[in-house]
Amino acid sequence: MELQLGLALPTSNNKSNNRLNFGNDNNDVGSYTNDEVIVQSWLPVANNGGGTECSAVNSRKRRRFIESFEDDHIPINLKTLPLLQLAGGSDDNDDNCSVVLNKIETEDEEEGDDNDGEGIVGWPPISFRRKKKKKMWNHRDQLMMMMIVDGSSPSSEECGEGPTSMYVKVTMDGIGIGRKVDLAVHDSFPSLRRQLFAMFGLPEENPWDGGAGAGEYQLTYQDSEGDWLLADDISWRSFMGSVQRLRLMRSSSSSGSS
């Protein structure tokens, strides 16, 4: 019995139709024989709802692909191929095939990770998301530790149990007492600087642009690896992701990231 299943098995020895027009409007496409191997760097198709036209075209072309599948070129000793299965059976991670909803097994983590400067990319195989979460939380823990060490008794707001507080310690050269500032209320360096001005009583007209050396003080920060860097060297977002504490350095004594 011949099964017309509409999948990729050849329906007949269709020797004549070896050629296939394939592609969409955005690529230049010709027709290909089975002998040609075409390098196709498909341009990303605009991801819009205009898939309807595309898909009609595609299904037409896909049908031809199926029909024109030519098994003459397959080595004779190839066994009959199992019908390609849409449902691949047991999830490699899911031992509980019988679970009706086929829950995706949680945490198939074995691996992966971003190269933190540790030699081999993606090794050991630990999911980078697992590791990244740990890093982000270490940062937050450090903040809380600093506040506790500081001597003040943190209220729950200060501890960051409110929505998005992010207190860091700020010291300024020449002033003995450090302060704390909530970075979460700022979205840019100028905004942060304005608050620091006010905190430390620097006059507004102080030409402190924080970077080029024209001002008296430079804003520096310590990142998660312990290095002191100029705050202006990175974007606000990166800054927020790694800042541990701040220091207003007098320009004359600073040398960048000392």
Partner 1 sequence: MDLTPKQSIPAAESTRFPDEVLERVLTLLKSPKDRNAVSLVCKDWYTADSWSRRHVFIGNCYSVSPEIVARRFPRIRSVTLKGKPRFSDFNLVPDNWGADVQSWLLVFASGSPFLEELRLKRMRVTDESLEFLALNFPNFRALSLLSCDGFSTSGLATVATHCKNLIELDIQENGIEDLSGEWLSCFPDNFSTLEVLNFSNLITDVNPGVLERLVSRCRSLKVLKLNRSSSLDCLHRLLTSAPQLTELGAGSFSQELTPQQHAELKHAFGFCKNLTVLSGFWDATALNLSAVYPACSGLSFLNLSYTALQSQELASLLPHCPCLRRLWVLDSVGDRGLEAVGANCPSLEEIRVFPTDPFDEDMLHTVTESGIVAVSQGCPKLHYILYFCRQMTNAAVATVVRNCPDFTHFRLCIMNPGQPDHTTNQPMDEAFGAVVKTCKKLKRLSISGLLTDLTFKYIGEYAKNLEALSVAFAGSSDLGMQYVMEGCSKLKKLEIRDCPFGNAALLSGLERYESMRSLWMSACNVTVDGCKALARQMPRLNVEVMKEEGSDDCKADKVYVYRTVAGPRRDAPPSVLTFSSL
28 binds partner 1 (CB under 8 A): no
Distances from the Cα of 227 to the Cαs of 220, 222, 246, 258, in angstroms? 10, 5, 11, 8
Single out the segment in contact with partner 1 by CB under 8 A; choices: 78-86, 172-180, 206-214, 244-252: 78-86
Please check whether residue 204 is in contact with residue 186, taking contact to mean a CB–CB distance below 8 angstroms.
no
Beta carbon nearer to partner 1, 69 or 221: 69
**φ, ψ for residue 195, nearest 5 deg:** -70, -40
Beta carbon nearer to partner 1, 73 or 258: 73
Distances from the Cα of 15 to the Cαs of 1, 36, 79, 192, in angstroms? 21, 16, 20, 73
32 binds partner 1 (CB under 8 A): yes
Q: Which residue type sits at 145? A: M
Site for partner 1 in 117-156 (CB under 8 A): 118, 120-131, 133, 136-137, 141
Distances from the Cα of 243 to the Cαs of 58, 176, 195, 225, 239, in angstroms? 50, 21, 17, 9, 6
CB of 235 to partner 1, least distance (A): 15
Q: At which residue do the structure tokens 């060297």 appear?
A: 233
DSSP 180: E
176 binds partner 1 (CB under 8 A): no
Site for partner 1 in 42-71 (CB under 8 A): 42-45, 47, 49, 51-52, 55, 58-59, 61-62, 65-66, 69-70
109 binds partner 1 (CB under 8 A): yes
CB of 171 to partner 1, least distance (A): 28
Beta carbon nearer to partner 1, 84 or 175: 84
Single out the segment in contact with partner 1 by CB under 8 A; choices: 27-35, 199-207, 220-228, 249-257: 27-35
Q: Which of 139, 232, 224 is nearest to 193 (CA)?
A: 232
**φ, ψ for residue 181, nearest 5 deg:** -135, 140
CA distance 140 to 224: 11
CB of 147 to partner 1, least distance (A): 15
Site for partner 1 in 181-210 (CB under 8 A): none
Cis ω on the peptide bond leading into residue 82 (within 30° of 0)?
Answer: no
DSSP secondary structure, 57-84, as one string: HHHHHHHHHHHT--GGGS-TTPPPPPPP
Binding residues for partner 1, total number by CB under 8 A: 94
Beta carbon nearer to partner 1, 43 or 177: 43
15 binds partner 1 (CB under 8 A): no
CB of 242 to partner 1, least distance (A): 15
